[in-house]
Structure 1
Amino acid sequence: MKLPPLNTLRVFDAAARHQAFGKAAQELHVTHGAVSRQIKLLEQALGLTLFDRRNRAVYLTDAGHQLLDVTRAMFEQLHTGLAQLRRPATDAPLVLSCEPTIAMMWLIPRLPDFQRTHPGIQVHLYAAGGPVAFAAQGVDVALRRNDFEWDPALHAERVCDEWTGPVCRPGMPGGADAGDWFDAPALGSATRPRAWQQWAQASGRKAPRQTGPAYEHFYLSLQAAVAGLGVAIGSALMVQDALRDRRLAAPCGFVRDGSAYFLLSPRPCRDDPRAAAFLAWLRQQAANSLPEAAQAVEATGPVACATDQSVAS
Structure 2
Amino acid sequence: MALPPLHSIRVFESVARLGNMAAAAVELHVTTGAVSQQIKALQGSLGVELFEKRGRHLVLTDTGRALQQRVAGALGEIHEAVQAVQSSAKQAPEEIELTLSLPPVEGVTWLATPLFRFMEESRAVKLKVIKATQFNQVDWRKADVAVIYGTPPWPGFWWRLLHGIRMIPVCSPQFLRGSLAIRNAEDLARHRLLHEDNGAQWQHWLAEAGYSGTVASDVYFEDFGMVLQAARDGFGVALSDEIVSARDLDEGRLVQPLSLSVPAVHNYYCVCTEGKRERPEVMAFIDWLMSTTQ
TM-score by length of 2: 0.55
What is the aligned partner in structure 2 of residue 105 from structure 1?
A: 109
What is the aligned partner in structure 1 of residue 169 from structure 2?
A: 166
Residue by residue over 1:49-85, the C-alpha shift from the partner in whole angstroms, topping out at 9 and shown as x without a partner, is xxxxxxxxxxxxxxxxxxxxxxxxxxxxxxxxxxxxx
- Secondary structure in structure 2 of the residue aligned to 1:93: strand
What is the aligned partner in structure 1 of residue 183 from structure 2?
A: 180
% identical equivalent positions: 24
- Secondary structure in structure 2 of the residue aligned to 1:237: coil
Q: Distance in 1 between matches of 2:113 and 2:245?
A: 12
Summarize the Cα distance change of 1:283–1:126 in structure 2 as closer, same or farther, 3 Å threshold.
same
My pick for the range that moved more, 207-216 or 191-200, is 207-216
What is the aligned partner in structure 2 of residue 261 from structure 1?
A: 268
What is the aligned partner in structure 2 of residue 157 from structure 1?
A: 160
- Any gaps of 5 or more consecutive residues in structure 2? 1-93
Do the aligned partners of 2:276 and 2:282 also contact (CA within 8 Å) in 1?
yes
Do the aligned partners of 1:203 and 1:255 also contact (CA within 8 Å) in 2?
no
The equivalent position to 1:200 in structure 2, one of 188, 202, 206, is 206
Supply the RMSD in Å over aligned alpha carbons: 3.3
Q: Distance in 2 between matches of 1:95 and 1:180?
A: 45
By how many angstroms is 1:131 displaced? 1.8
Q: Is the aligned partner of 1:280 residue 2:292?
A: no
By how many angstroms is 1:105 displaced? 3.5
Counterpart residue type for residue 290 of structure 2:
R
Q: Distance in 1 between matches of 2:99 and 2:286?
A: 13
Q: Distance in 2 between matches of 1:268 and 1:261?
A: 21
- Secondary structure in structure 2 of the residue aligned to 1:165: strand
- Secondary structure in structure 1 of the residue aligned to 2:169: strand
What is the aligned partner in structure 1 of residue 96 from structure 2?
A: 92
TM-score by length of 1: 0.52
Do the aligned partners of 2:196 and 2:227 also contact (CA within 8 Å) in 1?
no
- Secondary structure in structure 1 of the residue aligned to 2:96: coil
Do the aligned partners of 2:104 and 2:223 also contact (CA within 8 Å) in 1?
no
What is the aligned partner in structure 2 of residue 130 from structure 1?
A: 135
- Please give the residue correspondences for 1:1-313 in structure 2 after superposition, counting only pairs within 5 Å: 91-102=95-106, 105-128=109-132, 129-131=134-136, 134-136=139-141, 138-147=142-151, 150=154, 152-172=155-175, 174=177, 178-180=181-183, 182-183=187-188, 184-205=190-211, 209-253=215-259, 254-267=261-274, 271-287=278-294
Summarize the Cα distance change of 1:206–1:233 in structure 2 as closer, same or farther, 3 Å threshold.
farther
Do the aligned partners of 1:169 and 1:227 also contact (CA within 8 Å) in 2?
yes
Q: Distance in 1 between matches of 2:244 and 2:167?
A: 10
By how many angstroms is 1:115 displaced? 2.4
- Any gaps of 5 or more consecutive residues in structure 1? 1-89, 288-313
Do the aligned partners of 2:194 and 2:236 also contact (CA within 8 Å) in 1?
no
- Secondary structure in structure 2 of the residue aligned to 1:286: coil
Question: Which is bigger in relative contact order (C-alpha 8 A, separation at least 6)?
Answer: 2
What is the aligned partner in structure 1 of residue 3 from structure 2?
A: none
- Secondary structure in structure 2 of the residue aligned to 1:281: helix
By how many angstroms is 1:119 displaced? 3.4
Counterpart residue type for residue 281 of structure 1:
W
By how many angstroms is 1:154 displaced? 0.7
Summarize the Cα distance change of 1:145–1:104 in structure 2 as closer, same or farther, 3 Å threshold.
closer
Do the aligned partners of 2:111 and 2:292 also contact (CA within 8 Å) in 1?
no
Q: Whose radius of gyration is greater, 1 or 2?
A: 1
Q: Distance in 2 between matches of 1:237 and 1:192?
A: 23
Corresponding pairs, count: 196
Summarize the Cα distance change of 1:203–1:286 in structure 2 as closer, same or farther, 3 Å threshold.
farther
Do the aligned partners of 2:101 and 2:138 also contact (CA within 8 Å) in 1?
no
Summarize the Cα distance change of 1:173–1:256 in structure 2 as closer, same or farther, 3 Å threshold.
closer
